[in-house]
Amino acid sequence: MADDPNIGVTRRELLKRAGLAGAALTIPASAAPVRAEAGGGATPEGHPAQSVAAARREPLETLTAAESDLLEAVCARIIPSDAMGPGAREARAAHYIDRALGGALASSRQAYSAGFAALDRYSRSSRGAAFTALTERDQDSVLIDVETGAATGFTGSSAAFFAMVRTHTLQGTFGDPYYGGNANFVGWDLIGYPGVRTSVSADDQRLGATLAPNHRSAYDYDMFTKASARGGPAEPGARLPEPGEDPHGH
């Protein structure tokens, strides 16, 4: 499934859709089972994006405060919080990334520093303000430039930077909560994944069966040896690939 998700979509359409996204409503309380200080929820179109500093809950492990603010803001646009439910912000995708950058994703640390510096420069030069100070609609239009490679000032392709952050945001939203993201299982609830089970019956696999979410992580089961939460290299200098999908076949 390594296809381009934007095939057939023009940039203008993307902008239009991004604008519609900005018109989303605040989250109903029932859909946001997170602590109150986490904030969350998009603001109406045209209003300044929510202060991301208020959403941060965990002590930083790798990123600087400024980088973390930018990451929170970008994650919140990739998977926004809206009427449909919590997004990457409530899932704490940024926390997952911050932690992993000190371990399994250490080889991407430099790319984050350089990419966020470039993002902020591009935001100021093209939209006249820091990225975090833009409205959600303007943030989206900046990110479309970054995604399509149209943004200037990036080392290499801005599209590669966007693809990397998107990939990690998805990992942090839909991965096992053990690694610091998918808080309160909001990611799994969003897509209807019923949770980690160690045994599944024939009846569970029939068409139309609906399994209640069990909200369990792999490591809620005592039968498994715990992995490193940071997922650091097993040996010094180990190559750590980070593809989302297995490129090799089976």
Partner 1 sequence: MATRLKPTDVVVVGLGAAGGVAVLPLAQAGLDVVGLEAGTWLTKRDFAPDEIRNNVRDWPQSVQKAQHEVPTHRANEKANTTRAGSHPMMNAVGGTTLHYWAQSWRLNPWDFKVVTDTTKRYGASRIPKGSTVEDWPFGLDELEAYYDKVEYELGVSGQAGNIKGTIDPRGNIFEGPRQRPYPMPPLRSTGFIDLMAAAARGLGWHPFAGPAAINSRPYQNRSACMYHGFCNKGGCHVDAKNGPNVTTIPRAQDTGRLKVVTRAHVTSIDADHQGRVTGVTYVTDGVEYVQPAKAVLLASYTYENTRLLLLSKSKAFPNGLSNNHGQVGRHYLSHAQGAGVTALFPFNLNAWYGLPAQGVAVDNFADDNFDHGAQDFIGGGNLWVMSDRRPISAASMGTFGRTPGWGAEWKAFIKENADRTSTAYIQKTTLPYEDNYLDLDPVVKDPLGFPVCRITADYKDNERRITAQTQERMAQWYRAAGASATQANPLGTMGPTTHAYGGTRMGRNPETNVVNQWGFSHEVPNLGVLGASVMGTSGARNPTLTVQALAWRTAEHLTKNWKTITT
The Cα 92–Cα 186 span in angstroms is 10
Task: Give the burial string for 209-220 (b: 16+ CB within 10 Å, else e).
Answer: eeeeeeebbebe
Binding characters for partner 1, 167-206, by CB under 8 A (x = yes):
x--xx-xxxx-xx-------xx-xxxxx-xxxxxxx-xxx
Stretch that binds partner 1, among 30-38, 48-56, 113-121, 207-215 (CB under 8 A): 207-215
Q: CB nearer to partner 1: give 37 or 234.
A: 234
Applying CB under 8 A, the span of 29-37, 49-57, 123-131, 162-170 interacting with partner 1 comes to: 162-170
Q: What residues numbered 81-100 form the site for partner 1, per CB under 8 A? A: 82, 84-85, 87
Q: Count CB neighbours of 181 within 10 A.
A: 29
Q: Minimum CB separation from partner 1 for residue 198, in Å? A: 5
Task: Say whether residue 111 binds partner 1 (CB under 8 A).
Answer: no
| 170 contacts: CB under 8 Å, gap ≥ 6 | 79, 244
Tokens at 76, concatenated: 């919140």
Site for partner 1 in 124-153 (CB under 8 A): 140, 143, 147
Of 26-34, 44-52, 152-160, 233-241, the window that binds partner 1 (rule: CB under 8 A) is 233-241
The structure tokens listed for 127 are 């939209």
User: Minimal distance in Å, beta carbon 117 to partner 1?
Assistant: 22
Which three-class secondary structure string do you get for 93-119?
Answer: HHHHHHHHCCCCCHHHHHHHHHHHHHH
Residue 30 binding partner 1, by CB under 8 A: no
Whichever of 48 and 193 has its CB closer to partner 1, that residue is 193
By beta-carbon proximity to partner 1, the closer residue of 125 and 214 is 214
Residue 25 one-letter amino acid: L
Verify binding: residue 59, partner 1, rule CB under 8 A: no
- Secondary structure class of 218 (helix, strand, coil): helix
| Nearest residue to 91 (alpha-carbon basis) of 107, 75, 112 | 75
The footprint of partner 1 on residues 3-22 (CB under 8 A) is 3-9, 13-14, 17-18, 20-21
Find the binder of partner 1 among 29, 36, 207, 212 (CB under 8 A).
Answer: 207
Query: How far is it, in rounded angstroms, from Cα 71 to Cα 161?
Result: 12
Q: Is 102 exposed, middle or buried (0-12, 13-18, 19+ CB in 10 A)?
A: middle
- Quote the least distance from Cβ 54 to partner 1, whole Å: 21
How near is the Cβ of 87 to partner 1 at its closest, in Å? Answer: 7
Contact region for partner 1 (CB under 8 A) — 45-53, 55-63, 126-134, 214-222?
A: 214-222
Q: One-letter amino acid identity for 172?
A: G
* Of residues 22, 64, 11, 73, the one with CA closest to residue 44: 22
